[in-house]
Copies of this chain bind each other. A is one copy, B any other.
Amino acid sequence: MPAPLITLTTDFGETSYYVGALRGVLYRMCPDARLVDVTHQIASFSPLEASFVLSQACPEFPSGTIHLAVVDPGVGGLRRPLIIKTERYAFVGPDNGIFTPFLDGTERVYRIRTEGEESPTFHGRDVFAPAAARLARGEPPEAIGEPTSGAVRLHLPRPRREGQTLIGQVLMLDRFGNLITNVHRRDIEFLGPSLHVHMGTVRVRGLAGSYHEGVVGEPLALIGSSGHLELAVVQGNASAQLGVGREARVRVSPLADA
């Protein structure tokens, strides 16, 4: 049986000692754990982005994986430290909605017991990593926390329809400057293939099939690998070129209306 797998997702960045300390605690408490990073570059203080990234990355992992996620602007406050057990996974992190995509009402939720000696600013090291390590060692969640319920759900921003136009927003940027929106493929099916996408001062006609279908340096729109509408620039940086970022508005409308 391969050693237990623990994924790490944080907004700590790669500087400083934070991620190193997390890893140290995990290996100290569960020496045969295998650690794997999802990312430590979640936008600072953004449970929304964490939730989106987790929704895309975690389902790829094998059943039994423990997903530790610490994007925790409320650390030291009243938000509960949780273990959430779903059919396939255990999630460990703050109760601020980052695990929303995995909540379907069948999950079991536990509030991690703390002893009051934790640093009020670094529950990743002092609360969440120890809980994840104990799960990886095979301890049942009941040994680590009290059963509870009602994990916080994030209110994910949904695109809204105005007549024949759908209005959404940019969820996140990737390294290439691609602008990933909250408009899912399903949301624009009603428009058919003849559509315009507007963002900032740019208007793009139709959807490309992939990033290189167009002129180098020109913007295009496509359905990305998460199933969401994206704006990209062929071999360029859409965010920089369009001068837009997170939460920018996107409008999708039928060709005739554009």
Give me the interface of A with B, judged by CB distance under 8 Å.
Answer: 2, 5, 7, 9, 11-21, 23-25, 27-28, 31-32, 35-41, 44-45, 52-53, 56-62, 65, 73-77, 119-122, 125-126, 172-176, 180, 209-213, 222, 224-226, 235, 237
Query: Is A209 within 8 A of B20, CB to CB?
Result: no
A61 — which chain B residues lie within 8 A by C-beta? 23-24, 27-28
A17 — which chain B residues lie within 8 A by C-beta? 38-39, 52-53, 56-57, 226
Also in contact, A21 and B60, with CB within 8 A (given A35-B36, A175-B12): yes
Q: In whole angstroms, what is the CA distance A20 to B8 when docked?
A: 9
Also in contact, A18 and B174, with CB within 8 A (given A25-B60, A57-B24, A210-B121): yes
Q: Besides A18-B174, A121-B225, 8 other CB < 8 A contacts?
A: A14-B39, A20-B60, A21-B57, A23-B37, A24-B60, A27-B65, A73-B212, A75-B211
Query: Is A39 within 8 A of B19, CB to CB?
Result: yes
Q: Which of B2, B76, B173 contacts A211 (CB 8 A)?
A: B76
Q: In whole angstroms, what is the CA distance A7 to B126 when docked?
A: 20
Query: Is B125 within 8 A of A60, CB to CB?
Result: yes
Q: Which of B9, B44, B174, B213 contacts A76 (CB 8 A)?
A: B213
Q: In whole angstroms, what is the CA distance A209 to B78 when docked?
A: 13
Query: Is B44 within 8 A of A23, CB to CB?
Result: no
Please give me the residue from chain B that is nearest to A74 by CB atom: B212
Query: Is B119 within 8 A of A225, CB to CB?
Result: yes
Interface centre among A15, A27, A45, A56 (most CB of B within 10 A): A15
Q: In whole angstroms, what is the CA distance A211 to B76 when docked?
A: 8
Q: In whole angstroms, what is the CA distance A172 to B61 when docked?
A: 34
A14 — which chain B residues lie within 8 A by C-beta? 14, 39-41, 175
Please give me the residue from chain B that is nearest to A13 by CB atom: B175
A173 — which chain B residues lie within 8 A by C-beta? 15-16
Q: Which of B15, B74, B226 contacts A41 (CB 8 A)?
A: B15
A35 — which chain B residues lie within 8 A by C-beta? 36
Also in contact, A212 and B76, with CB within 8 A (given A36-B27, A53-B17, A175-B15): yes
Please give me the residue from chain B that is nearest to A53 by CB atom: B17
A176 — which chain B residues lie within 8 A by C-beta? 11, 13, 44
Q: Min CB distance, A55 to chain B, in Å? A: 8
Interface centre among A23, A57, A62 (most CB of B within 10 A): A57
